[in-house]
Amino acid sequence: MKTKEKKKSFELPSDEPKWLFEKRLSALISYEKEPLPNRVSHLWKYSDPSWFEFNSNNGSIVSSEKLKPVFALDNEATEKGVVLIELSDAFRNEKYNDLILKYFSQLTAKCPNKFAYFNEAIWSSGYFLYVPKNVKIEKPITVRLLFNQLSSLEAVRILILLEEGSSLNLIDEMSSPEDSKRLLNTVTEIFLEKESRLSYANLQLHSKQTISHLFQRAEIKNNAELTNVIVALGGKISKADLGTDLCGTHAGVTTYGIVLGDGVQKFDHHTTLEHNAPYTKSDLNFRVALKDTSRSAYTGNLKISHEAVKSDAHQENRNLLLSSDAKAESIPELEILTNDVTRCNHGVTVGQIDKDQVFYLMSRGLSQKEAEQVIIEGFVEPTISRIPEESLREDIMLKIKNKLGVL
């Protein structure tokens, strides 16, 4: 009964289907049972799991006022049958019951995780995106999640499903007002059916008081392709655990990561890439620039299973340290269980800003700050320039410039 009471205190909407309520309860029990992750495994080596726990230290006010994602579907998309609605609405609408039952929490169930259980128990906002078979939408769809002042805890749940042969460009922009302390827990599940194509970007622009935990899992079927862009600029502590299961032949994932840190910001990004089928392809390009006493840890785990013959995997992580107090960690791991790989390699560099370059730019009339900005922009440019959509590239560059402008 204790659990039930506790759950009640999160003031969840009461008009949910009963089975979902039961699911929340069992997730809450699992959350309480599941011990904090073991810090010996590299995934938690650089972040203390207790930072992301909900307790009186990091927040106690939970608003009953639900966070509303802001998005707009244009006529074309609506006419073609694309569905983009709040997740809680999707649960209430019988039309989507079958889909939701089939996909919701299928990927989180595969990797038991305390913070995913927590999310499953208390999520209140988020959205459901569905693209029907063979529907191709060119124009990017942007979803804005602006966290409100009142709540100090938010759990966001996102479910994305692309049916066979469909394609979409999607941008999630997450931000919160300055000087608002909060704990954020996001779980995103992405399903790409055969021959579908998703370009997904997660832009993290939180206030410097926000503690964020993002857990993202994607399942990619035959010939489907995911382009996964993650840009982390905000937050006090920002941890992202991104996992991709390449389970269909010729499935592919390309990951682009950009992290810019300043002040006392802490970033911890983890990627799990699993090649579980033949001819699968993964490519990762992660660039981190750090100022002041900011810190970044990038840990990656790339697995090529015995079945995944003729796979092709490439990982690259580059770190630029702009101050002697900044700190970068990198653990790109490879676990290869077949010899029949087309290519499998990774590379890491950690370097400082080139003083000659700064000097050269300054001799051309730039201030030191401007020169550093130019160099940082130049450092992240090779990753950004590979992102396929021009508008997204411009948007990201603009946000980076914004951040650099106030550095």
Cβ 34 to another protein, closest distance in Å?
A: 18
One-letter amino acid of 276: N
Query: Which residue, 41 or 385, is less far from another protein as judged by CB?
Result: 41
Instruction: Tell me the C-alpha distance between 257 and 317, whole Å.
Output: 9
Interaction between residue 40 and another protein (CB under 8 A): yes
Residue 362 CB, shortest distance to another protein, in Å, is 18
Using the rule CB under 8 A, which residue among 64, 345, 368, 391 binds another protein? 345
Measured from the CB atom, is 198 or 277 closer to another protein? 277
Q: What is the largest CA-CA distance in the chain?
A: 71
Q: Count other C-beta atoms under 10 Å from residue 15's C-beta.
A: 8
Kindly provide the b/e burial profile for residues 295-331, where b requires at least 16 CB atoms within 10 angstroms of the residue's own CB.
bbbbbbbbbbbeebbbbbbbbbbbbbbbeeebbbbbb
CB 295 to another protein: min, Å:
10
Q: Is 42 in the site for another protein (CB under 8 A)?
A: yes
Q: Considering the rule CB under 8 A, would residue 170 count as an interface residue with another protein?
A: no
Smaller CB separation from another protein, 112 or 351: 351
Identify whether the C-beta of residue 210 lies closer than 8 Å to the C-beta of residue 182.
Answer: yes
Q: Residue 369 interacts with another protein (CB under 8 A)?
A: no
Please work out the total of residues on this chain that contact another protein, with binding judged by CB under 8 A: 39
| Cβ proximity to another protein, 165 vs 332, nearer residue | 332
Strand 197-205 relative to strand 311-321, pairing: unpaired
Using CB under 8 A, which of 66, 80, 144, 346 touches another protein? 346
Task: Give the Cα separation of 104 and 187 in Å (integer).
Answer: 11
Task: State the nearest-atom distance from the C-beta of 337 to another protein, in Å.
Answer: 5
Looking at residue 374, its amino acid is V
Q: Are 234 and 208 in contact (CB under 8 A)?
A: yes
| Contact flag: residue 337 with another protein (CB under 8 A) | yes
When asked if residue 55 is in the footprint of another protein (CB under 8 A), the reply is no
Q: Is 327 in the site for another protein (CB under 8 A)?
A: yes
Cβ 122 to another protein, closest distance in Å?
31
How is residue 136 annotated by DSSP?
B
Q: How far is the CB of 220 from another protein (least distance, A)?
A: 22
Angular region, 301: left φ>0, alpha ψ -120 to 50, beta rest:
beta
Distance CA 259, CA 380 (A): 9
Q: List the x/- string, 129-148, binding to another protein by CB under 8 A.
A: --------------------
Point out which span in 145-153, 176-184, 253-261, 314-322 binds another protein (CB under 8 A).
Answer: 314-322
Asked if 339 interacts with another protein (CB under 8 A), we say yes
310 vs 278: CA distance, rounded Å: 6
Query: CA 144, CA 282: separation in Å to the nearest integer?
Result: 28
Residue 323 makes contact with another protein by CB under 8 A: yes
Q: Out of 81, 347, 378, 388, which residue is the one contacting another protein (CB under 8 A)?
A: 347
Q: Cα torsion for 227, 258, 111, 123, to the nearest 10°? A: -100
Q: Give the SS3 label for residue 337.
A: coil
| Nearest distance, CB of residue 227 and another protein, angstroms | 24
Q: Quick one: 20 or 341, whose CB is closer to another protein?
A: 341
b/e map 43-75, b = 16+ CB within 10 Å? bbebbebebbbbeeebbeebeeebbebebebee
Told to check if 14 binds another protein by CB under 8 A, we report no
Please give the residue ranges that form the binding site for another protein (CB under 8 A). 38, 40-42, 306, 309, 319, 321-341, 343-353
